[in-house]
Structure 1
Amino acid sequence: MSPDISLTTLIVLCLAAGAAGWIDAVVGGGGLLQLPALLVGLPHMAPAHILGTNKAVAICGTTAAAVAYTRKAPMDLRTAVRIGLAALGGSLAGAFFASGINSAVLRPLIMVVLLAVLAFVLLRPTFGVSTAPAAPATRRRVLAAIAVAGLGIGFYDGLIGPGTGTFLVLALAGILHMDLVTASGTAKIVNVCTNVGALVTFSVQGAVLWQIAAPMALFNLTGGAVGARMALKRGSGFVRGVLVVVVVSLVCKLAYDQWGG
Structure 2
Amino acid sequence: MLPLDLVPADLSGLALLLLLVAAFAAGWVDAVVGGGGLIQLPVLLLVGGMTPLQALGTNKLASVFGTLTSATTYFRRARPAVRTALPMAAGAFVLALAGASVASRLPAEVIKPVIVLALVAVAVVTAARPSLGDLARTRRAAGSHYLLAMVLAVVIGFYDGVLGPGTGTFLVIGLIALLGYDFLHASATAKIVNAATNLGALAFFLPTGAVLVGLGVVLGLANVAGAYLGSRMAIAKGNRFIRVVFLVVATALIVRLGVDVVRDLA
Tell me the TM-score range normalised by the shorter chain.
0.7 to 0.9
Q: What is the distance in 1 between the residues matched to 2:251 and 2:179? A: 29
- Other structure's SS at 1:98 match: coil
Structure 2 residue aligned with 1:4, among 3, 10, 20?
Answer: 10
Q: Does 1:81 align with 2:100?
A: no
Q: 1:227 to 1:46 in 2, by over 3 A?
A: same
Q: What is the distance in 1 between the residues matched to 2:130 and 2:21? A: 26
* Cα shift at 1:154: 0.3
Contact 1:21 1:222 in 2 (8 A): yes
* Cα shift at 1:8: 1.3
Structure 1 residue aligned with 2:194, among 191, 194, 198?
Answer: 191
Q: What is the distance in 1 between the residues matched to 2:247 and 2:154? A: 30
* Cα shift at 1:248: 6.3
AA of the residue aligned to 1:199: L
* Cα shift at 1:134: 3.5
AA of the residue aligned to 2:161: G
CA RMSD of aligned residues (A): 2.7
Q: 1:257 to 1:60 in 2, by over 3 A?
A: farther
Q: What is the distance in 2 between the residues matched to 1:129 and 1:37? A: 32
AA of the residue aligned to 2:32: V
Q: Which runs of 4+ in 1 moved over 3 A?
A: 105-116, 126-130, 244-260
Percent identity reads 40
Contact 1:31 1:161 in 2 (8 A): yes
Structure 1 residue aligned with 2:169, among 153, 166, 183?
Answer: 166
* Cα shift at 1:120: 2.7
Structure 2 gap ranges (5+):
none
* Cα shift at 1:47: 2.3
Q: TM-score, normalised by structure 2?
A: 0.84
Q: Does 1:15 align with 2:21?
A: yes
Q: 1:152 to 1:237 in 2, by over 3 A?
A: closer
Per the alignment, residue 177 of structure 1 pairs with: 180
Q: 1:153 to 1:128 in 2, by over 3 A?
A: farther
Worse-matched range after superposition: 242-251 or 45-54:
242-251
Q: Does 1:99 align with 2:101?
A: no
Worse-matched range after superposition: 112-121 or 203-212:
112-121
AA of the residue aligned to 1:144: L
* Cα shift at 1:149: 2.1
Q: 1:30 to 1:127 in 2, by over 3 A?
A: farther
* Cα shift at 1:46: 2.9
Q: What is the distance in 1 between the residues matched to 2:236 and 2:248? A: 18
Q: What is the distance in 2 between the residues matched to 1:251 and 1:15? A: 22
- Other structure's SS at 1:196 match: helix
String of CA shifts for 1:86-132, please: whole Å, max 9, x gaps.
Answer: 0011001001111335xxx5478557645643553245215797424
- Other structure's SS at 2:218 match: helix
Per the alignment, residue 121 of structure 1 pairs with: 123
- Other structure's SS at 2:50 match: coil
AA of the residue aligned to 1:79: T
Structure 1 residue aligned with 2:42, among 7, 29, 36?
Answer: 36
Contact 1:128 1:180 in 2 (8 A): no
Per the alignment, residue 212 of structure 1 pairs with: 215
Per the alignment, residue 70 of structure 2 pairs with: 65
Structure 1 residue aligned with 2:148, among 144, 148, 154?
Answer: 144
How many pairs does the alignment contain?
A: 255
- Other structure's SS at 1:33 match: helix
String of CA shifts for 1:184-230, please: whole Å, max 9, x gaps.
Answer: 10011111111111111100111101232122111111111100000
Q: 1:245 to 1:93 in 2, by over 3 A?
A: closer
Q: What is the distance in 1 between the residues matched to 2:247 and 2:42? A: 19
